[in-house]
Structure formats: structure tokens, C-alpha cells
Chain A
Amino acid sequence: MTNNFVTNYNGMSMSTLVALNDADFEQEVLKNPKITLVDFWADWCTPCHMLTPILEEVASEYGDKIKIAKLNVDENAQTPPVYNIMSLPTVILFKEGKPLKTFIGVQGKEEFKKAIDETLGS
């Protein structure tokens, strides 16, 4: 349907978050010494789109201290099963290649910050 304000808001999927794929997952996440949050998402998943601006805010607050990346599960079939992804969005916090914490479903900024701060401090 044509709907003015909806069409006006198209093209918002521009994201400041790093897009990952199966091929670079090892290099970008597993071999990355920094804390890395990986957001497993898909285009058809409404809550995933709600999570994006939250993660973008977290990313801007921490700057270079951490990395936040997204992996599209429709385009990358190998990585999600490794981490038993059965629900979207799922965000996994990695440190030195190890999955330390899993967030299932949309969470507030504070939840991510708490986990990041705990991991940074440890």
C-alpha cells in the first residue's frame, strides 16, 4: 500500500554495525582479542530491527573498546547452528573467541552495558 510516512521512512537499514559473514567470522570474531558482540538477525524479524538502534547506541558509547557486529542468518547458514541459534534476535558476547554470554530477544541498552562492563573489568 502507499502510505506517505511509511515510504518516507524507507532505507533505514543503513547501520553503523559491522556486517559479518560465514567466511570472515573466524577472523573478525574468534581471533579478535576485543570484546565482540554478534547480533544474529534476519530481515523478516521485526524485533531484530528494533534491536539495531539499541546496539548502535551501545557501539557509539564504547567506541573502539569493543566491536559490535551483525550476522544475517539467512545469508550465512554455517555459523548460526554452531551457536544453536533458534530464536531471533540472539546476541552473543565473545571474548577471545569464547562465547561468554547469550542474550535472547530484544534487550535494553543497560543489559548490554552491564555485561560489557563486567567483561571489560574481568
Chain B
Amino acid sequence: MKPSEVNFSYESDNANMDTIYDVIIIGSGPAGLTAALYTTRAALKTLVIAGVKWGGQLMLTTLVENYPGFADGIMGPELMTAMRKQAEHHGAEVINTNFKSADFTSSPAEAGSLHASGQAGLAKPLEITTEDGKVYKSKTIIIATGADTKWLDVPGEKEKIGRGVASCAPCDAAFYKGKRVIVVGGGDSAMEEASVLTKFAQHVWVVHRRDSLKASDIMQKRSFENPKITFIWNSGITEVMGEGKVEQVLLKSNIKNQIAKIQIKDQNEDKEITPEELGGKSLETKDQQLSWQFPIDGIFVAIGHLPNSTLFKGIETDEKGFIKIHDHTKTNLDRVYVAGDVHDNEYKQAVTAAGFGCMAALEVEKYLRVQSETS
């Protein structure tokens, strides 16, 4: 199915600020929408704050081959649209508005004490503010905000995002027809980006800071065998250069035995060559690292994601920003649950996110049932 065949239109503002929802789910990737499916089927009044870029990371992919149930794979956007329709079919209200803030610093502390005394039925509703200034109230919250592209954070990068620096090959690859492109990263996402780009680009170089990949075996094998992909190992980009667009990158590569050569894998064969043999230019060797310059038209960054947790006040995270979990799906605060990539730094799959969403929903259901029985 083509993107044009998916219905992306929606009824705006169908959510009600006077309603006290049983659960508000923030985020609409596999975690959020699976949670919504379960809470609605448990007859809980459910609002999903989906965001303007609803559907999560899978909206930026092509064929998803590792979601169970689809023998030939399924297009990411099609899968997410189906999940959304399924949740809506069972009664979820979904709004395409961005979440703005939630301050849990006061009310959940109260909720915690109320929970202890078994009177959470009287607890003050939790409040969620959206970008349009509206405030929605709920008895419980599931945070399923996922994670966004982690950029390289090197000079010259930020101002060229959308002008040669990109993170979504299925969105932008067509602009790189006949061009020279770098993909940074070594996981499945990087391999997917590289593979999509080979359909358009003259050649794709995968720059990775190690000399082996984290990607799954099947993705590695396909990438190594692709004649249009060359791997540049033990290397990183230190600067993006160009006037208004990407023209060059500076790289640093670890070298072996003082020899100013870079380690590559090309045509499924490991080699050591000089930057010049690759069409670049050596600049300096220092501390077992070779600095060199490489002419390039585009850089696709796939080095991972940063959890979208910064907008929540009062929620504990680890040093990387992933929300800390207690008993699988709970945050440090009563009535606030979490699911998916915003807490999961380990598995990060659509199917695990969906699983976490289901778990959080079941916990919400259990919590509300206990409250109604004891109040």
C-alpha cells in the first residue's frame, strides 16, 4: 500500500476538557496504541494524545518484516494506521495535538499518600497540557512518548538538517539520486537507511565507530553483500562542511600500527586503504587517529534515539533520560505508567513496545478496579 492510500485525516478537537478520563495515553506508536486498544476494551475512558507526527518511528520506515502476523511484511505507516483504527474502533479518542507538559511534582505525591490509604477515588485528577493550551484531566496516565533521532552533535550539523543532513531515508532518499551519501550507525536502522538509499544514491558509505555491526545477522549479510555499500570502520564524523548544503565531512578514524590507513569493508571484504583511495584527503595523524576529509552530498544519521522524557516534571529517569521503571510498567509516581522506547533502552522493537503498552494498560485496569472496589 502506498502512503497516499492511508487515511491521515482526522476529526480535530473531539476530546473534552471537562471529562475526567480513566486514562490518558501520551504517544501513539505501537506502545501507546496497543495500550489504548487494551484500555478501551476494558471499558476505560481513554484519550490518546497522539501528536502531530502521530504513529511514532514506524511512520518513517518502509517494509517492516519483523512484526508477527505479516508473512510478507507490512509497510510501517500501514501497520500504524491499522493500530490506530483498531484503538479508535474500540472507542479510543485520539487527538493529533502535541503534548506540551505535565507537572506531576505536586498532585501524584498526594496521590501516593491517598493510594496508601486506599482512597485514590478522591485523588485530584492528573493534568496534561497540550500545545494548543488545552488541559485534559485523567485518573491515570501512560507515558508512551517514545524516542526521537539522536543527532551527531558536531559542528555544521544542526543548520544542515533538511539540507543534506537527514534521518529518514524513506522520506528523503529520492533527493540523493546519483549522489554520494554517508549513513552513520551500525544497527538495523542504519542498515535499513543504507539499503533504501542504494536505490537512489551513486554510492553509500556506512561510517561506524566500531569494526562490527550491532544489526541483526540478516541485515548485516544483505548490507555486506550490497555492492553499493562500503563500510568505514572505527570512524566518526567530526564536522559537517558546506555552504547552505552538505559538501564535505571531516572524519576521524582509528589507525593500526602508525599506518595512516582506514579500515573498510567493501564487496564483503575487509581492507585497509588510504583516504585518497576512497576519494578523500588525509589531513593529520595524531594519537593513533587519522583526520581526513571526504566529499559527500548527504549524511543520514542512525546512531540511535533519545527518549522523549524531558517534558515530564517529577518523573525519574536514568542518566540517559530513559524513564526508570518499577514493577515492569510503573514510574516512580502512583497513577503514572510508562511503556515503550521512552523507558526501554534494551529491545526497542515495535513488537516489544506493543507488549509494554499492553502490560501498562493491564496495570492501569487493575489499579482502577482496586480503587473502585475499595472506595
Contacts and interface: CB of A to CB of B under 8 A. Distances in A.
Given A9-B6, A57-B12, A50 B53 contact: yes
Contacts, number: 107
A21 interface: no
B206 interface: no
A6 B53 CA distance: 19
Nearest to A108: B52
Given A86-B175, A110-B132, A45 B3 contact: yes
Given A57-B12, A90-B162, A50 B7 contact: no
A74 B175 CA distance: 10
Contacts of B85: 5-6, 9
B320 interface: no
Nearest to B85: A5
A18 to B, nearest CB: 18
B84 to A, nearest CB: 10
A74 B89 CA distance: 35
Contact of B9 (A53, A74, A85, A88): A53
Contact of A109 (B54, B74, B132, B171): B132
Interface string B281-307: 000000000000000001000000000
B78 A6 contact: yes
Interface in A49-91: 49-50, 52-54, 57, 74, 84-88, 90
B5 A47 contact: no
A52 B9 CA distance: 8
A108 B97 contact: yes
B324 to A, nearest CB: 29
A105 interface: yes
Contacts of A17: none
A106 B291 CA distance: 36
A5 B78 CA distance: 11
B108 interface: no
B82 A43 contact: no
A86 B163 contact: yes
B135 to A, nearest CB: 16
A3 interface: yes
B171 A88 contact: yes
B131 A49 contact: no
A49 B174 CA distance: 17
A104 B166 CA distance: 11
B171 A46 contact: yes
6 contacts: A6-B81, A9-B81, A44-B3, A54-B52, A87-B161, A88-B172
Given A87-B166, A105-B53, A108-B98, 4 more contacts: A10-B5, A84-B244, A88-B172, A106-B53
